[in-house]
Amino acid sequence: MIAQTLPPPYYAVIFTSLRTEGDNGYGAMSDEMEALARQQAGFLGVESARNEIGITVSYWRSLADIKNWKANTSHLLAQKQGREEWYDHYKVRICLVERDYEF
């Protein structure tokens, strides 16, 4: 589903990843983190796709909201587990969305 966001400006956090083999609890944690993110102040939506490369884009009202999400205790534990078990490599990009349109 395509996230319905506020009119710009807002921020996008683009998380691109290469996974390790097997699930190892990743699917359950991913669902848990999405549900938790939806409860955070400033969260606007999320879109995700995975084939060989996984791309998850979450949308936020402000940089402060992104910083607070990154520092969330449960999210910090998931990040640690991700580095130890689930990801061979990942990259995070934070972008200001100045314009959007849709069909």
Classify residue 3: in a domain, yes or no: no
> In angstroms, rounded to a whole number, what is the distance separating the alpha carbons of residues 20 and 65?
29
Q: What are phi and psi of 4, to 5 degrees?
A: -95, 115
Domain span holding position 14: 10-97
Instruction: Report, as an integer, the average pLDDT of 35-48.
Output: 97
Q: Mean pLDDT of all residues in the chain? A: 95
- In this prediction the pTM is 0.92
Q: Is the peptide bond before 7 cis (omega within 30 degrees of 0)?
A: no
Q: What is the CATH number of the domain that holds 30?
A: 3.30.70.100
Quote the strand ranges of 6-86, DSSP E.
Answer: 10-19, 43-50, 54-60
The total of structural domains in the chain comes to 1
Residue 2 lies in a domain: no
Report the pLDDT averaged over residues 21-48.
Answer: 94
